[in-house]
Chain A
């Protein structure tokens, strides 16, 4: 028994090593063959990978300045660690906390009103039968998207001007006193969100129009024969058919919840309206770019990113669970 045992050991060991060696060789040959055969695919993949590494992963290295007392001259590595101090500073500031809440409120309202707007618009376009009218209407609503925020802000300021603005002129017809909208905190959110819808709903409707165009036309024909009217077709065919697109767009939108378009806010807000208008990004802008405090700005940005990440993950898993639609 023991003889057998001892005799067999070297044999097995040797063969094990050989087998392992062969396997490794096999795998290596397989890899080499694989690359020889499929190298074009990897070449095509390379630009995307390089782009990700260079522009998304490498800059992550810089995130550490949120935990450092950053000096540009000393560089990222040369600046001393300060731990969570910047986060303490941020959350110790009632203005930052207010900015977080303002961001969430503006985003939530934007989601509530701004998200359905392009969908409704796309559904409306879909019901227009006259092709010329449809194209003209589409062009008109796409247009504001291509106007720069500065011009948009100018238009908004003019439209809401107490003396010459169209809004106050209309209010005047009903015998009310003009309102200096842009200095009233309670009006900032409606104006900002309304402007956003006016500017982006048209362009945002393109993706939903594309989704609608992808719906099998015989679904509608079948429904027509079955006796459905246009309203029923919209509710029972169009909307359910584009629901995956809607959900994906919603998840993406939720991921951007902390990214309120702050150029427009900077152009429209006043100290008088900070109470509702100051969002995290404008706060970072004032603090970081104007004040030169990159480390604090990075901390605020990191906080933003973490919140957005959690929201996207949550939204994605909810969507996956209830509708089988998800980003990944």
Chain B
């Protein structure tokens, strides 16, 4: 059935594209003779790069470059595994792409497996060049240690990811205002704990909860401490051009001390470490959870799904309360560059055509195709804006899943267009995003560094052990085994002993080289 619709869609595509004059003139052609390129494309949404995707058919039609799926390890559970299989097999297809390709491509690129793209982009890819010019710093971020850029990333759009959510109906019931600062927040959480906002007569409310145990740490933001410098947990951060690890700073000591106090006082889910991924579902539907930090889009959905089961349920995003020093910031945000995308391998016979093809996806037409699918079928242009057709919006299925099925929003190198997501973002989430947009909440992100081999060795030698050590101590402190105030000096000495300074040293060197510090 699904296959049938795909075929039908493909058929519709070819007839439609033929009717569109702007494309029929062939100005998007990147080659005179049709060219076939093989591609490795492992990603979690489908098995490889599907040649029947309507989006691929259109791209093939418009550019004259058609991709042939040559994905290795289609049944591998992770893309990294598939990539390792590919590299180990020794023969690379023309294009290597998909999910989580940044690290291997930046590692094997300088070894000769992939072609550096800088000059090719300069000469043959005006749209890619223009995009990076508009977004300074990102080209450096994705470059390898040798200063060359080896892959065209999937470039997400949109700023916000997670937000602070609170049970507004509980606040209303207890006669409280949305907390504006850390003192107020603590009072609200105490009230959630003690004043039975769910009205069942039992003291079973869980003030702060989360479905990721790593998010236990997030409230330390309210004491000006950081949990990560990027959208990856436990990551390094850059302060005034210097690399630091958030867990080795004085603010962290203060933040964690208070977090441990919160945990001891029952303001944090006592089972936060084992509740697991269903914590949010369970605690919200059982009318137990009051406050969390989670994704805008999915968390705002509970107001609809729990409308009938929990009376008066109103779980809404609110502005991050001011920290102890009066700052208001949102630490977690979308990363502007994903480790996903694609690269040209050293076996490719026609790198120029390939980079031109890559550039196609950065043209207006290419970007629309990559984001929204086929005009007239999946979306219409209304007042110069792409708007999904009823077929997509009215199907009752998630729009992103539908896009993945036609080959749009695939993790190729392309600029994502936030208009895609906005169209199917719920009203409550839109309000929240607009609310967050009223203030300048976002912090600069650490976008990672590419190591030389010697640097990588230092990092590999120390970092996994260091991180293990940090997490062990942090969990112990939160759980009340040991006192951070008493243990701090010894902890810092241990970090040093275990090579934190060596790791920071190589990261700083790589950072300076990459971002021209």
Please say whether the chains A and B touch (CB closer than 8 A).
Answer: yes
User: Once bound together, how far apart are the Cα atoms of A95 and B464, in whole Å?
Assistant: 10
Instruction: Across the interface, name the chain B residue whose C-beta is closest to A158.
Output: B274
B270 contacts partner chain A, Cβ-Cβ < 8 Å: yes
- Digitize B244-276: 1 where CB-to-A-CB distance is under 8 Å, 0 elsewhere: 000000000000000000000000001101101
Contact between chains at A161 and B274 (CB < 8 Å): yes
B491 contacts partner chain A, Cβ-Cβ < 8 Å: no
Q: Which of B113, B274, B481 contacts A73 (CB 8 A)?
A: B113
Q: A72-B88, A75-B88, A95-B469 are in contact. Are A272 and B479 (CB under 8 A)?
A: yes
Q: A73-B87, A95-B468, A292-B103 are in contact. Are A180 and B270 (CB under 8 A)?
A: yes
User: Once bound together, how far apart are the Cα atoms of A183 and B111, in whole Å?
Assistant: 44
Q: Which residues of A sit under 8 angstroms from B90, Cβ to Cβ?
A: 75
Contact between chains at A73 and B460 (CB < 8 Å): no
Contact between chains at A183 and B475 (CB < 8 Å): yes
Q: How far is the CB of B121 from chain A (nearest CB, A)?
A: 24
User: Once bound together, how far apart are the Cα atoms of A12 and B108, in whole Å?
Assistant: 69
Q: Which residues of B sit under 8 angstroms from A278, Cβ to Cβ?
A: 468
254-305 of chain A: CB within 8 A of chain B: 270-272, 274-275, 278, 286-287, 290-293, 296
Contact between chains at A157 and B111 (CB < 8 Å): no
User: Once bound together, how far apart are the Cα atoms of A7 and B472, in whole Å?
Assistant: 91
B16 contacts partner chain A, Cβ-Cβ < 8 Å: no
User: Once bound together, how far apart are the Cα atoms of A287 and B104, in whole Å?
Assistant: 17
Instruction: Across the interface, name the chain B residue whose C-beta is closest to A156.
Output: B274
Contact between chains at A182 and B460 (CB < 8 Å): no
- Digitize A149-171: 1 where CB-to-B-CB distance is under 8 Å, 0 elsewhere: 00000100100011100000000
Q: Which residues of B sit under 8 angstroms from A319, Cβ to Cβ?
A: none
Instruction: Across the interface, name the chain B residue whose C-beta is closest to A74.
Output: B111
User: Once bound together, how far apart are the Cα atoms of A167 and B468, in whole Å?
Assistant: 29
Q: Which residues of A sit under 8 angstroms from B347, Cβ to Cβ?
A: none
Q: Which residues of A sit under 8 angstroms from B472, Cβ to Cβ?
A: 271-272, 274-275
Q: How far is the CB of A74 from chain B (nearest CB, A)?
A: 7
Instruction: Across the interface, name the chain B residue whose C-beta is closest to A286.
Output: B464
User: Once bound together, how far apart are the Cα atoms of A286 and B464, in whole Å?
Assistant: 8
A245 contacts partner chain B, Cβ-Cβ < 8 Å: no
Q: A271-B471, A272-B476, A292-B103 are in contact. Are A182 and B464 (CB under 8 A)?
A: no
Q: How far is the CB of A151 from chain B (nearest CB, A)?
A: 13
Contact between chains at A272 and B271 (CB < 8 Å): no
Q: Which residues of B sit under 8 angstroms from A154, Cβ to Cβ?
A: 276
User: Once bound together, how far apart are the Cα atoms of A296 and B273, in whole Å?
Assistant: 29
Q: How far is the CB of B212 from chain A (nearest CB, A)?
A: 13
A93 contacts partner chain B, Cβ-Cβ < 8 Å: yes
Interface size class of A (residues with CB under 8 A): 20 to 34
User: Once bound together, how far apart are the Cα atoms of A73 and B84, in whole Å?
Assistant: 9
Q: A74-B111, A163-B270 are in contact. Are A286 and B460 (CB under 8 A)?
A: no
Contact between chains at A270 and B113 (CB < 8 Å): no
Q: How far is the CB of B332 from chain A (nearest CB, A)?
A: 20
Contact between chains at B479 and A183 (CB < 8 Å): yes
Instruction: Across the interface, name the chain A residue whose C-beta is closest to B481.
Output: A272
A71 contacts partner chain B, Cβ-Cβ < 8 Å: yes
Contact between chains at B273 and A182 (CB < 8 Å): yes
A89 contacts partner chain B, Cβ-Cβ < 8 Å: yes
Q: A272-B479, A293-B460 are in contact. Are A183 and B273 (CB under 8 A)?
A: yes
Instruction: Across the interface, name the chain B residue whose C-beta is closest to A92.
Output: B461
User: Once bound together, how far apart are the Cα atoms of A29 and B476, in whole Å?
Assistant: 76
Q: A161-B271, A162-B270 are in contact. Are A73 and B476 (CB under 8 A)?
A: no
Contact between chains at B468 and A73 (CB < 8 Å): no
User: Once bound together, how far apart are the Cα atoms of A72 and B465, in whole Å?
Assistant: 23
Contact between chains at A274 and B461 (CB < 8 Å): no
Q: Which of A72, A89, A275 contacts B461 (CB 8 A)?
A: A89
- Digitize B455-493: 1 where CB-to-A-CB distance is under 8 Å, 0 elsewhere: 000001101110011011011100101000000000000
B515 contacts partner chain A, Cβ-Cβ < 8 Å: no
- Digitize B49-93: 1 where CB-to-A-CB distance is under 8 Å, 0 elsewhere: 000000000000000000000000000000010001001101000
Contact between chains at A180 and B479 (CB < 8 Å): yes
Q: Which residues of A sit under 8 angstroms from B103, Cβ to Cβ?
A: 292
Q: Which of A73, A274, A296 contacts B108 (CB 8 A)?
A: A73
Instruction: Across the interface, name the chain B residue whose C-beta is closest to A178.
Output: B270
Q: Which of A73, A272, A287 contacts B111 (CB 8 A)?
A: A73
B213 contacts partner chain A, Cβ-Cβ < 8 Å: yes
Q: Which of A74, A75, A270, A293 contacts B475 (CB 8 A)?
A: A270
Contact between chains at A72 and B87 (CB < 8 Å): yes
User: Once bound together, how far apart are the Cα atoms of A160 and B64, in whole Å?
Assistant: 61
Contact between chains at B88 and A163 (CB < 8 Å): no
- Digitize A49-76: 1 where CB-to-B-CB distance is under 8 Å, 0 elsewhere: 0000000000000000000000111110
Q: How far is the CB of A28 from chain B (nearest CB, A)?
A: 42
User: Once bound together, how far apart are the Cα atoms of A161 and B103, in whole Å?
Assistant: 39
B103, B465, B479 pick with most chain A CB within 10 angstroms: B465
Contact between chains at B475 and A271 (CB < 8 Å): yes
Q: Which residues of B sit under 8 angstroms from A73, Cβ to Cβ?
A: 87, 107-108, 111, 113
437-460 of chain B: CB within 8 A of chain A: 460
Q: How far is the CB of B109 from chain A (nearest CB, A)?
A: 10
Q: A74-B111, A270-B213 are in contact. Are A286 and B274 (CB under 8 A)?
A: no
Q: Which residues of B sit under 8 angstroms from A287, Cβ to Cβ?
A: 464
Q: Which of B270, B274, B468 contacts A271 (CB 8 A)?
A: B468
Contact between chains at A157 and B274 (CB < 8 Å): yes
User: Once bound together, how far apart are the Cα atoms of A71 and B204, in whole Å?
Assistant: 53
Contact between chains at A291 and B111 (CB < 8 Å): no
Q: Which residues of A sit under 8 angstroms from B273, Cβ to Cβ?
A: 180, 182-183, 270, 272
Contact between chains at A95 and B471 (CB < 8 Å): no
Q: A73-B87, A271-B474 are in contact. Are A291 and B464 (CB under 8 A)?
A: yes
Q: Which residues of A sit under 8 angstroms from B274, Cβ to Cβ?
A: 157, 161, 180, 182-183, 270
Contact between chains at A93 and B465 (CB < 8 Å): yes
Contact between chains at A272 and B475 (CB < 8 Å): yes
Instruction: Across the interface, name the chain A residue whose C-beta is closest to B477.
Output: A272
Q: Which residues of A sit under 8 angstroms from B479, Cβ to Cβ?
A: 180, 183, 272
Q: Which residues of B sit under 8 angstroms from A296, Cβ to Cβ?
A: 460
Instruction: Across the interface, name the chain B residue whose C-beta is closest to A165.
Output: B271
Contact between chains at B87 and A180 (CB < 8 Å): no
Contact between chains at B111 and A162 (CB < 8 Å): no
Contact between chains at A72 and B84 (CB < 8 Å): yes
Q: Which residues of A sit under 8 angstroms from B460, Cβ to Cβ?
A: 291, 293, 296
B90, B274, B276, B464 pick with most chain A CB within 10 angstroms: B274
176-221 of chain A: CB within 8 A of chain B: 180, 182-183
Q: How far is the CB of B473 from chain A (nearest CB, A)?
A: 8
User: Once bound together, how far apart are the Cα atoms of A8 and B88, in whole Å?
Assistant: 67
User: Once bound together, how far apart are the Cα atoms of A72 and B90, in whole Å?
Assistant: 9
Q: Which residues of A sit under 8 angstroms from B461, Cβ to Cβ?
A: 89
- 12 other A-B residue contacts (CB within 8 Å) besides A183-B273, A183-B475: A71-B107, A72-B84, A73-B87, A73-B108, A180-B270, A182-B273, A183-B479, A271-B468, A271-B472, A272-B273, A290-B464, A292-B103
Q: Considering the complex of A and B, which 6 residue pairs feature the smallest CB-CB distances, nearest first?
A: A271-B471, A272-B475, A73-B108, A271-B472, A72-B87, A271-B475
12 intermolecular pairs with C-beta atoms under 8 Å apart: A72-B84, A73-B107, A73-B111, A75-B88, A93-B465, A157-B274, A163-B204, A180-B274, A270-B274, A271-B471, A291-B464, A292-B103
Q: B-contacting residues of A (Cβ < 8 Å)?
A: 71-75, 89, 93, 95, 154, 157, 161-163, 180, 182-183, 270-272, 274-275, 278, 286-287, 290-293, 296
Q: A-contacting residues of B (Cβ < 8 Å)?
A: 80, 84, 87-88, 90, 103-104, 107-108, 111, 113, 204, 213, 270-271, 273-274, 276, 460-461, 463-465, 468-469, 471-472, 474-476, 479, 481
